[in-house]
Amino acid sequence: MARWQPGTRERLQATALQLFASHGYDQTTVAEIAAAADVTERTFFRHFADKPEVLFAGQDDFLGIFTGPIESAPADTAPFDLVRLALDASGAFFPDERRPWSRTRQGIIDAHPALGERELGKLATLKVRLGEVLRDRGVPEPAATMAAETAVTVFHLSFAQWIAEGEDRSFSAIAHERLDALTNLVHPAR
């Protein structure tokens, strides 16, 4: 499992983000990213298929972080508890020290529709994979798809709040607040 620690790949990602933020995404070339990270262009392309990929690499790790806890949970775990487990695990992908990086990255993505589409595609893939692992565990339809959609919605809203200006709570705390809001929405405590 990839971790957020020093290394060529991570250095390339950090360098690319700095260049995108200071010079503009469109204005920054792979050659400039490689030079600034003190590696060759060939090395860049060993790690990333193309320039946008430097912002999206780690997709497989990310999917695995979501689906792993669902696949390994005890057989009698309720579907909503599976959703909780997946969201708790996803918090590990967004430690506080990553927040500035995520904020800068999102600003670049939001400013470029093509990157925004890749991001939406990523969330769509996550929904599909979650639905699959839930059905594999015997969760019937339409419950499996509702659970997958709910998990990704909570994830997406939590992430948006986690990178919001002035927010300093952990990803998990924010996700739990949203899960609680959903629980209370569906069955209000009177």
Question: Smallest distance from the beta carbon of 163 to a copy of itself, in angstroms?
Answer: 15
Q: Distance between CA atoms of 185 and 177, rounded to whole angstroms?
A: 12
Question: Smallest distance from the beta carbon of 150 to a copy of itself, in angstroms?
Answer: 7
Summarize as ranges the residues that interact with a copy of itself (CB under 8 A).
Answer: 78-80, 83, 117, 120, 142-143, 145-147, 149-150, 153-154, 157, 161, 177-178, 181-188
Of 61 and 136, nearer to a copy of itself (C-beta) is: 136
Helix axes of 143-162 and 113-136: crossing angle, nearest 10 degrees: 140
Residue 79 identity: P
Question: Smallest distance from the beta carbon of 79 to a copy of itself, in angstroms?
Answer: 6
Burial class of residue 120 (count of CB atoms within 10 Å of its CB; 0-12, 13-18, 19+):
exposed
Question: Smallest distance from the beta carbon of 3 to a copy of itself, in angstroms?
Answer: 30
Of 89 and 157, nearer to a copy of itself (C-beta) is: 157
Of 9 and 84, nearer to a copy of itself (C-beta) is: 84
Of 35 and 182, nearer to a copy of itself (C-beta) is: 182
